[in-house]
Amino acid sequence: MPRINSKKFYIASLKKHGITPQGLHWFGKESQEKRFDILLEMLPPRLEEFSLADAGCGFGDFYHYIQSKSLRPKNYIGIDSIKEMCTITSERTGQQTLHADICKARLPRADYYVCSGAMNILSEFETYLFVQNCYRASSYGFLFNILYGDIQSKMYNYVTKEKLQKIAKELGVAKVEFQEDYMQGDISVAFFK
């Protein structure tokens, strides 16, 4: 069973804050971009040679961020379970978007899948399904950040390294990388094939 209704959660925030990092429940642009920095460090340097799927793309901010670094993937697709987010991403980026439940849908193939923050309100089981689907749809790997710690919350989804390593083992991940010292309560993870 879902932890909370994600559509209500995000649409209420969008109405209150508009198309801003706070509209996606980020504290602000700085914390959002710090997470983007870490994901970008974990991706290959010649990003233009690879296709990229942005799972839980929100407003397409990661696409704009990598463009601000003079990078552009060979192909980009934004995927989100909230139709309004897909519309916004499509309009803001001019790139393909897909409205789909990432936990359940058959996802399009991409060299790399990334996700920044979209799993923070999922249940433990939904997180497993999300990671599994993104990893399986990737040719080289799935990179993501998520709330980190052994904290029980009625709203937010926190994970430990042990849980992440268990998921990696179950999925047969060839190589796992962690980045955890950049922000309290957050971890970035790469599951490489």
Kindly report, residue by residue over 80-106, the tens digit of the pLDDT: 998 998 999 999 999 999 999 999 999
Query: Which CATH number does 6-43+55-192 carry?
Result: 3.40.50.150
Q: Is 110 exposed, middle or buried (0-12, 13-18, 19+ CB in 10 A)?
A: buried
Domain chopping of the chain, boundaries: 6-43+55-192
When mean pLDDT is compared across 17-26, 102-111, 164-173, the lowest value belongs to: 17-26
Kindly report, residue by residue over 119-170, the tens digit of the pLDDT: 988 889 999 999 999 999 999 999 999 999 888 777 778 899 999 999 999 9
b/e for 9-46, b at 16 or more Cβ within 10 A? bbeebbeeeebbbbbbbbeeeeebbebbebbbebbeee
Kindly report, residue by residue over 52-89, the tens digit of the pLDDT: 999 999 889 999 999 999 999 999 999 999 899 899 99
